[in-house]
Amino acid sequence: MVPGAGGDLATDVYLPPGAGPFPVVLQRTPYHRRVLETLAPTFVQAGYAYVVQDCRGKWDSGGQFTPLVHEAEDGLTTLDW
């Protein structure tokens, strides 16, 4: 979970082997992050860290979902995390 202003943001992180640092692909979705976990091996095998997150108020993330209103704020919060 990433602590966010509107509630904790449910987040899964997939890392390639090794010590890093790694370039990161961040995907945020209102459709449940587990749907996107099938993409993780592709990014990890290419040497990327893959981070997938439920949008605020959707699925396992806290807060109230309002389409497109909190995306920039929550995305920046995740990048800072």
pLDDT per residue over 30-79, tens digit each? 999 999 999 999 999 999 999 999 999 999 999 999 999 999 999 999 99
Give the chain's largest Cα–Cα span.
38
Residue 5 domain-assigned?
no
CA 10 remoteness from chain centre: 7
Residue 2 domain-assigned?
no
Predicted pLDDT of residue 49: 98
Number of domains comprising the chain: 1
Residue 42 domain-assigned?
yes
Predicted pLDDT of residue 25: 98
Q: What is the pTM of this model?
A: 0.92
Domain of residue 16, residue span: 11-80
Residue 60 domain-assigned?
yes
The CA-atom distances, in angstroms, between 58 and each of 29, 43, 67, 80 are 9, 24, 10, 21
